[in-house]
Chain A
Amino acid sequence: MTSPAALRPSRLLWTVVLAATALACTPAFDPEARLTKLRVLAVRAEPVNPNVGEITTLDTLVYVPPDAAGDPVTYSWSWCPELGDPSDGYRCPETDQEIQEMGAELGVTDIPPLSLGTDATATFRNPFPPAVLADLCNRGFELGASRCDQGFPIRIAVTVAQGNVRLPATTVLTLPVADGATTNLNPAFAAGGPAVTALMNGVDVPIDDQASVMLPRVIETKLHANVADSEAETFEGLDDDGQPALLRERLTLSWYVETGDVEPDSFHTGYFPGTTDLDKLLSNGWKPGERADYPRDDAQIILVLRDSRGGVGWTSGRVGLEPTP
C-alpha cells in the first residue's frame, strides 16, 4: 500500500498529540510535582561541556523524604560512549576493554573506566580531542549519535539507592567537536536576590530555608522565581529548518512541593526567548494540602531550571504551613 504510507508519519504524530489530550479517561495518580518519596530530580555536570583534558564534576539533586532522612543514600556513577537504548535502561553495550581498544584505535589515551565511582559526586575527564569526535560524527552512527551539531553526546548514568529503593537516572554530556567551541553554562537563579518569592498581602516575600514565610493551607499562594533573561544564552546552532543560525536557549522550570499542588499548567513550562513570556515561566501558584493529608508544619519547595543544551540549576526553600485546616 503506497500512498497511505505517505501520510503515515504525520498520522502517527497526530495520534500522539491526540492521545496526549485525554481522549480516553486516564486514572488519577499523584502529581509529578508532589514529592512523597525518594526522587532524583536532576543530574548536573559542571562544566556542561568539558573540553579535552578538562574535568567535569557530576552531581545530583536528590529528594529524600523527611521520614527517611537518616537512612544512608548511595550512588553509583558510570559513563558510556554510546547513548544506548532507553527500553533497556540505557545499558552500555561496551566493556572497559572494548572502550580501551577503541581508544587505542582512535589514538586516544587515558580514557576513564566506565565506572565513575560511588560518591555523591563524580568526575569525568574528557579524553577525546575534538577532531577525533568530529571524525566519529562524520563516520556515522556506529556510536549511536546521529546529530553532533552541539557536540558529541555521551551517556552519564547514576543509580541512587536508599534501602531497597534503586533509582536509575541519566544525563547526556556533550563533548566539543571543534576547538574553541563556546561551551554552555549551567543556568542559575538570580544572584544576589531571593530565588523564589511568595506573594503575601501584595508583597513578594522571599522564601528561605528557615520557613520564615507562613503559607495558608488549601489556598493558592502566588509564587515567583527569579531568573534573569540572560540565562537563556545565545549560541550557534541549527534552527527549526535545520539551517545554521544564532539561537537562544530555551529555558524550562520544574516546580516540586512536598504537599498539595502547584498549577499543573506551570509545572514545567518553557520559555522561548522572543516567542513566549519569561514571566509566565517564572510564575506559579501553590496550594498546600490540608493537615489531614500532610500533618507537618513546614514543607519544602524545589525548583529545577534547565536550558536546552543540557545545563541544569536548582534552588530550594522551606515554608511554614498554617495549622488548619
Chain B
Amino acid sequence: MSRRRWRSVAWALLLLLSVATPVAVWAAGRAPATVDARALTKLPKQRTTAPAAYPPRAETERIEADVTLLLSIDAEGRVTKVEVQQPAAPAGYGFDEAAVQAAEQFLFEPAEANGKPIAVRVPYVYHFRLPARAAASESTGPDAGPADGGTPSLAGDAGSPIGADFDAGPPATSSAPPDAGAAAAASAAPVTLSGDLMVRGTREPMSDVLVTVFVEGANGPLGFQSRTDPAGHFEFRGLAAGEWRVFIEAPGFYPYRTTETILPGMRTTVKYYMELGSQSPFDVTVTGQTARKEVNRVILPREIIDKVPGTIGDPLNVLPSLPGVARTPLAGGEIVVRGAAPEDTQVLVDGMDVPNIYHFGGLRSVLPIGILESIDFQPGNFNSYYGRAIGGIIDVRLKKLAPTHFGGYVDLSLLDAGLYLEAPIGSKGALAIAARRSYIDALLRSNDSDSSGVSLVTAPVYYDYQLLGNYRPAAGHDLRLAFFGSDDRLAELFTKPGDLALQATSARFSQQQSFYRGILSYRYVPTTRFENSAAVSIGRDTADFALGQVLFNVQTDTLQLRDTLRWKVAPWITPVVGIDSLTQRWNGLARLPALPKEGMPAANTDLSQLMETRLNSVVTWSPGWFGELELTPTERLFISAGVRADYFRRISQLTAAPRFIARYRLTPTVTAKGGAGLYYQEPQFDETDPNFGNPHLEAERALHLSLGAEWKPRPFLTFDGTGFYKHLTSMVSPTDATTTTASGVSEPLRYDNNGVGRVYGFELMIRHDFSNKLVAWLAYTLSRSERRDSGSSTYRLFDFDQTHILAAVATYQLPANYQIGMRYRYVTGTPQTPTVGATFDSITDRYDPIFGAPNSARTPAFHQLDLRVDKKWIHEKWTSTVYLDLQNVYNRANPEGLAYNYDYTKVAISQGLPVLMIVGFKADF
C-alpha cells in the first residue's frame, strides 16, 4: 500500500467524537415503536471502527468521494444493517462497497431513551480523501514519523437535514437522506440559529463537533445537524419557529442539552460552553512517542511539574525529585547532578546558555510555569549537541504557542504574583507575554519593628518578564522568538549594612543581579528526512554587589549561535552536524576576597586582603563543533556515535570529545542501554583570571560510563535502572604553590589542574505516566562522589556526596475536580568539615574556626513529606484553582547544616523550615 494513507472524515470524527446522530428509534428487544425525541437520553457512541480500504483505481486517479450510509444499530450496539443512502459520485470506483464493508464491522455503545438502551438508525457519511501531495507537516521533524496524509476534511454539513424519523415501523429508508436538493434549499434559507461552541472555562473553540437540533413536527420529530467549524461556529438555516431541543456530545465532555426558541423571522444567536468530563491537566497532554536516543533522559511536561507537592508550582523545584540529583541546603540554589559540582551542570533554555535560572540563588525560578513546555534532564552521557559541561544537562524548553483565542492566567502565591497572556496573531502566528513580581519585601516591611531585635532584614525583591512569539509562514517553516529576563535585588532593609562585616570600611551597600536574553530561532523542515535548526541568542548579564570595599560589578554581553543540521540519508543512518559558538564580552571591576572552592569549609572572610581585577572589554570565545551518526542497523539496535570539538579561547585549548550511546531492544518491553564519552569544561572565569587565579589552567575533563536497562511492562509504566561511573581528571584545585613571574615577582599559583575525582553509583526510576487517574514516579540514587585535591594522596568526600537519595512523587485525580499529591524524600546527610577549635581575632572581633579533616562528618539524614491539594472550579469563561501546599507535614527538624556559637565551642544542627502551609490561587481565562 502506498505510504499515502487515507481515512474518511466520518470515521475520524466518529472515532474522535464518539457520536452518531439518531435517526430512527425503536425500543430495545421488541418491535420498533415510536419514541419521543425528547426521551432520548444518550446518543450512540462508536466503540470500534474499521478503516475502509481506498479503492485502488480511485487512488491512482486521485478521485475523492463521499458515501452516505444509514446504519441500523441494535440495542446492544451492533450494526445490524448498512444501507447506502447517498452513493458516491462518481460511481463505479467501489467507494460504496468499501464503505459498507467497513461500517459492518463497527461497534457502538447503544443509544438510550430514559436510561434504557434502544435501537436506532443513524446516517453515517464516509469521506474518502487522499493526502495532499505536499510533503512535510509543520510539526513533523526527523524524530517523528512520516507525514500522515489524508488530513480529515473539516467541511461541516451545516444545517443539513438528518432525516430524523421516529415513526414506528421497521427500520427502513423512510427517513429522508440529505440530498443535494435539500442541502441547496437549506443553504439558501436564512440563518435562524447560529452559535459558538467552546470549552467551558478555557473558551477554546470546539471544532468538528456535531450539533443536533430536533423539533416535534407534524409527522414526528424532525432533526437537523450542523458541524462546528475550526472556530467552533455553527449555523442552522430555515428552522421553523418553535422550541428546538439541542443535543451536543463530544468525547471527554459532559453531554450538553438545552432548548432554544426560534422566533419567526428572527435569528437566534447562542454560545454554548461544554465542560470536560475530567479536569486532569494530564488529559490534555498528548505526547508523541519519539525514539529514545539517550542513556538517561527525563522529560517532565509542564502539567506534571505544575502539580508536584512541595514545589509551590515552581518548575525547577522539581529537579531534586529526579534520579541523580542531590539535595542542596535551603536556598542554596545549586543543582548537583551525579556528584558533580553545581558549576559542572549546564542549565539551558531552549539549548541556549543562561547565567542564572533561579532568583536569589534558589528562591524561585526565573521562568514561570506558564511559559514552559517541559524540562529535559540528562544526568550524564549526553550527546554531542551539548558541551562545555562535565556534569549533567538541564534544558528548559519554552512553550510552543498554539493559542486559539486570547487567554492567560493570573497566579498569586505567598511569594509573588504573575500574569500571563497569550493570543493568536492571524492564522500563522501567536504571541505571549508574562511578568511576575515578588512582594516579600512588603510583607517583611510590615512586620519590621524596632522591637524585633533584628539588626538587619533582607527583603528579596525580584521580578521577571517573558515574551514569546512564533510565526509559521508555511508548512515546514517555524520561526520563534523568546525574550526573557530577570532582576533580583535586596530592598533597603539593611539598617546598618556595615555591620555585616566589621572590616567593612564604609556603609556602602548595593546589590542587584539581572540578565536578559533574546533568542531567535528558525526551524526548517522541508521533508521528513531533512531538518535545519538555527538559533541566535543575545543578552546581557549584570551583577552588582558592593559592601564597603568589597565590590563585584561586572557586565557580560553574550552572543551565542547554534545551527544543527539533520539529514536522514537512509532509514538506518542519520548524520547530524552542527556548530555551537558562545562569545562573551566582559566589562567591570571585581574586588573580592579569595573565593571558597568546593571542599573548602566556610571560613571567615578577611576583607583586608582583597584581590582586584578590572575587565575592559575582555572577549572570550568558545566555538564548538559537533557531529554525530545515528545508526539503526537493525530494528532493535540504535547507536549514536559522535564527537564534539570545543575551542576555549580563554585558555587557548582545543578539545575533542568522542561519545557513544547504544540502545538494544532485547524484547518488546526490555531495552538494554549504555554509553561512554568524554566531556570537557573550561575553568571558571575567576580561576583563570590573572589576579584571582591561574591563567595557565587547562580544561577539566570527565569520562562518563553508564550501563543500564529499561523495562516497560505496561504502556504507562517504566522501570529504568542505570549504573554509572565518572572519572574526573585535570580538575582545578587550590594549591599553596607559588610561581615567579618574568619580572621576578613571587605570586601564588592559587590553582592547578592536579585535582582528580571519581563518582560511581546506581539510579533507579520507576515511572507511572498518567493512567487510572494517577501519575507517579519513584527515583532512587545510590552513589559516592570523591575528590583528591592537589597535593593530597587521599580521596575525600565531595561536598554534596549523598549516599542515598530517594524521592517518591504521586498525584491522583479525585472527583469534583480535586487533585491530591504527595512527595516524600529521604536523603543521606551532607558531608561537613568539623570545627576543632577557634582563634579570637582582635581586629575583626570574631573567632576564626580551625577545621578538622575535610568533609569527615555528616549531618543527619533529611526526610520530609509534602502534600498538595488542588481544587479547580470551572466557570463559563474561565477557571479558578486554589491549591494548598503543605510542606514538611510531620514537622521533621531537618538539618540544613551545622551552626556554631560565637566561639565555636558549641555546635548544633541548623534546622530547615518547620511545617509550612502555602496557599496559592490561579485564575485561567
Residues of chain A touching chain B, judged by Cβ–Cβ distance below 8 Å, are: 1-21, 23-27, 29-30, 32, 40, 42-44, 83, 86-90, 138-142, 145-147, 153, 157, 167-172, 237-242, 247, 250, 252, 254, 263-265, 268-270, 272, 275-276, 304, 306, 308, 310, 312
Cα distance, A275 to B848, chains bound together (Å): 29
Across-interface contacts of A14 in B (CB, < 8 A): 360-361, 488, 511, 513, 545
Given contacts A9-B686, A32-B903, A240-B508, 20 further A-B contacts (CB under 8 A): A4-B355, A7-B543, A13-B545, A13-B552, A19-B331, A20-B500, A25-B910, A29-B908, A86-B603, A87-B601, A138-B745, A140-B741, A141-B748, A169-B840, A169-B842, A171-B841, A240-B506, A242-B549, A270-B507, A310-B843
Given contacts A5-B684, A14-B511, A147-B610, contact A32 B506 (CB under 8 A): no
Hey, which chain A residues are within 8 Å of B507, CB to CB?
A: 270, 272, 275-276
Chain B contacts for A252, CB-based, 8 A:
502, 845
A13 CB contacts on chain B under 8 angstroms? 511, 545, 547, 550, 552
Most buried by B among A1, A30, A139, A254: A1
9-residue interface stretch from B90-98, B449-457, B522-530, B715-723: B449-457
B837: interface (CB < 8 Å) = yes
Which residue from chain A places its CB closest to the CB of B899 in the assembled complex?
A26
Task: For B902, give its contact among A25, A32, A146, A237 (CB under 8 Å).
Answer: A32
Which of A7, A167, A272, A304 meets B356, CB within 8 Å? A7
Cα A312 to Cα B490 with chains together (Å): 33
CA separation between A157 and B344, bound complex, in Å? 41
Closest-CB distance, A294 to chain B (whole angstroms): 19
Given A25-B914, A29-B906, A242-B612, A9 and B840 touching (CB < 8 A)? no
Interface string of B846-858 (1 = CB under 8 A from A): 0011110000000
How far is it, in angstroms, between the C-alpha of A138 and the C-alpha of B744 when the chains are bound?
Answer: 10
| Also in contact, A43 and B842, with CB within 8 A (given A24-B330, A32-B902) | yes
Q: How far is the CB of A210 from chain B (nearest CB, A)?
A: 28
Q: Which of these, B346, B546, B684, contacts A8 with CB under 8 Å?
A: B684
Distance between A143 CB and nearest chain B CB, rounded to angstroms: 9
Known: A13-B545, A14-B513, A145-B609. A304 touches B453 (CB 8 A): no
Which residue of chain A lies nearest to B345 when distances are taken between CB atoms in the complex?
A1
Residue among A3, A25, A167 with the highest chain B CB neighbour number at 10 A:
A3
Complex contact A5–B343 (CB within 8 A): yes
Instruction: Write the nearest CB–CB distance from B552 to chain A, whole angstroms.
Output: 5
Q: Is the pair A21, B458 in contact by a Cβ cutoff of 8 Å?
A: yes
Q: B500, A17: Cβ atoms under 8 Å?
A: yes
Q: Determine how close the nearest CB of chain B comes to the CB of A244; give it in whole angstroms.
A: 14
- Residues of chain A within 8 A (CB-CB) of B682 are 1-2
CB neighbours (8 Å) of B204 from chain A are none
- Does residue B590 face the partner (Cβ distance < 8 Å to A)? yes
On whether the beta carbons of B558 and A3 are closer than 8 Å, the reply is yes
Is B591 an interface residue, CB under 8 A from the partner?
A: yes
- A1-B346, A3-B558, A27-B899 known; A87+B603 contact, CB < 8 A: yes
Once the chains bind, are A2 and B620 in contact (CB under 8 Å)?
A: yes
What's the tally of chain B residues with a CB closer than 8 Å to chain A? Answer: 114
**A3 touching B556, Cβ below 8 Å:** yes
Q: A18 near B458 (CB under 8 angstroms)?
A: yes
In the complex, which of the residues B455, B498, B582 contacts A2, with contact meaning CB atoms closer than 8 Å? B582
* Interfacial chain B residues near A139, Cβ < 8 Å: 744-746
- Per CB-CB distance, the 4 closest pairs between chain A and chain B, nearest first, are A86-B848, A29-B901, A10-B543, A27-B908
Bound together, the chains give a CA A13 to CA B609 distance in angstroms of: 16
Whether B347 is near chain A, meaning CB under 8 Å from some CB there, is: yes
Cβ–Cβ contact B686 & A5, under 8 A: yes
Q: Cβ of A250 and Cβ of B839 under 8 Å apart? A: no
Are the C-beta atoms of B839 and A264 separated by less than 8 Å? no
A18's partner among B361, B548, B552, B622 (CB-CB below 8 A) is B361
Q: Find out whether the CB atom of B746 lies under 8 angstroms from the CB atom of A140.
A: yes
Shortest CB-to-CB span from A243 to chain B, Å, is: 11
Contact between B343 and A24 (Cβ–Cβ < 8 Å)?
no
Q: How far is the CA of A250 from the CA of B505 in the complex (A)?
A: 7
- Cα distance A141–B737 in the bound complex, in angstroms: 11
Please judge, given known A-B contacts A265-B455, A270-B507, whether A17 and B901 are in contact too, CB under 8 Å: no
A32 to B841, CA, bound (A): 14
Counting CB contacts under 8 A, is B38 at the interface?
Answer: no
Neighbouring A residues of B64 by C-beta, 8 Å: none
Residues of B within 8 Å of A240, CB to CB, are 505-506, 508, 546, 548-549, 551
Contact between chains at B506 and A5 (CB < 8 Å): no
Interchain residue pairs with CB less than 8 A apart (21)? A3-B354, A6-B584, A10-B552, A26-B910, A32-B903, A83-B609, A86-B606, A141-B748, A145-B609, A146-B611, A147-B608, A153-B608, A170-B842, A172-B608, A240-B505, A240-B546, A264-B455, A265-B455, A269-B496, A270-B499, A276-B496
Bound Cα distance from A157 to B504, whole angstroms: 23
Q: Report the minimal beta-carbon distance from A139 to chain B, rounded to whole angstroms.
A: 6
B residues within 8 A CB of A275?
A: 506-507
Whether a CB of chain A sits under 8 angstroms from the CB of B353 is yes
Q: Taking CB as reference atom, which chain A residue is nearest B503?
A: A308
Inter-subunit contact A9/B590 (CB<8 Å): yes
Please state if B388 and A89 are interface contacts (CB–CB under 8 Å).
Answer: no
Contact call A3/B331, Cβ cutoff below 8 A: no
CA distance A18 to B459 in the complex (A): 9
- The yes or no answer to B604 lying at the interface (CB within 8 A) is yes
Question: Does B913 touch A at the CB level, under 8 Å?
Answer: yes
Q: How far is the CB of B589 from chain A (nearest CB, A)?
A: 8
Would you give the 0/1 interface string for B638-652, flagging 1 where the beta carbon is closer than 8 Å to chain A? 000000000000000
Does B685 touch A at the CB level, under 8 Å?
A: yes
Complex partner residue of A7 from B355, B511, B547, CB under 8 angstroms: B355
Determine the distance from Cα of A140 to Cα of B738 in the docked complex, in whole angstroms. Answer: 10
Within 8 A of A (CB), among B459-516: 460, 488, 490, 495-496, 498-500, 502-508, 511, 513, 515
Rounded to whole angstroms, the CA-CA distance of A232 and B333 in the bound complex is: 41
**Are A250 and B504 in touch, CB under 8 angstroms?**
yes
Distance in angstroms between the alpha carbons of A308 and B609 in the assembled complex = 14
Report the Cα distance A250→B548, complex, angstroms.
11
CA A254 to CA B841, docked complex, whole Å: 14
- Nearest CB to that of B684 among chain A residues? A5
Which residue from chain B places its CB closest to the CB of A153 in the assembled complex? Answer: B608
Q: In the complex, what residues of A have CB within 8 A of residue B508's CB? A: 240
In the complex, which residue of chain B has the Cβ closest to the Cβ of A172?
B843
CB pair A7–B513 under 8 Å, yes or no, is yes
Of B453, B547, B586, B903, which one neighbours A265 at CB under 8 angstroms?
B453
In the complex, which residues 830-845 of chain B have their Cβ closer than 8 Å to any Cβ of chain A? 837-843, 845
Task: Given A6-B586, A276-B496, check contact A25 B603 (CB 8 Å).
Answer: no
Q: How far is the CB of A130 from chain B (nearest CB, A)?
A: 19
Q: Which A residues touch B582, using CB under 8 A?
A: 2-3
A89 engages B911 (CB within 8 Å): no
0 or 1 for each of B900-924: is its CB under 8 Å from A? (1 = yes): 0111001011111110000000000
Q: A281 vs B748: C-alpha distance in the bound complex, in angstroms?
A: 40
Contact of A9 with B595 in the complex, beta carbons under 8 Å:
yes
Q: A109 to nearest B CB, angstroms?
A: 23
Question: Is B807 positioned at the interface, with any CB of A under 8 Å from its CB?
Answer: no
Contacts of A29 in B (CB 8 A): 901-902, 906, 908
A residues in contact with B842, CB < 8 Å: 40, 42-44, 169-171, 312
B553 to chain A, nearest CB (A): 9
B839 touches A1 (CB 8 A): no
Task: State in angstroms the CA–CA spacing of A3 and B349 once bound together.
Answer: 13
B647 to chain A, nearest CB (A): 12
| Complex-state Cα separation, A293 to B495, whole angstroms | 32
Residues of chain B lying within 8 A (CB to CB) of residue A16: 605
User: A4: which of B356, B586, B686, B747 is its contact (CB, 8 Å)?
Assistant: B356
Contact status A11-B849, CB under 8 Å: no
Confirm or deny: B441 has a beta carbon within 8 angstroms of a beta carbon on chain A: no
Check A87/B388 contact, CB under 8 A, given A17-B500, A21-B456, A169-B839.
no
> B84 at interface (Cβ–Cβ under 8 A)?
no
The chain B residue sitting closest to A268, CB to CB, is B845
Chain A residues in 8 Å Cβ range of B590: 9
User: B273-294: which residues lie under 8 A (CB-CB) from chain A?
Assistant: none
